[in-house]
Structure 1
């Protein structure tokens, strides 16, 4: 890798907000620090409302799916239980 490419990459990393340090010597070079990258995110009121209502809609949709699945499961269980109960009544020991 050329020095020019390395310096360009370092500049790109700086613009992303990554912090790093340089170390001189035989094992030296550029090293990233252990700081986590937290890019500030700013939303206006309309965007916050849109995110909130989208999350609420998803939550309600998932809750509805869960309730519907529980109803289906209950119905299927009752069908199987009734069939098993009828078979048990019709079973005769010889």
Structure 2
């Protein structure tokens, strides 16, 4: 399967991407290489291969979640870069 320039432009429009003609050609080549790679993967016989659930055979060791005293308010604010009375000061993010 090959992706045409027209298909790439439709995908770019849906993804709200903008690029010039030279970038479009590079994107087209890269996308076609990815599709060729996936086509190669589809040809591999995977009968009898167990699905991979985790990337590692390692088991994660977790500690028990035990209740503990909360961090005192004054101690929590001690290392704050900016504070105002009993609150952390952070940059405004909502207009």
Task: Tell me if TM exceeds 0.5.
Answer: no
- Structure with greater proportional strand content: 1
In the superposition, the TM-score normalised over structure 1's length comes to 0.30
In the superposition, the TM-score normalised over structure 2's length comes to 0.30
- Structure with greater proportional helix content: 1
By relative contact order (CA 8 Å, sep 6+), the higher-ranking structure is 2
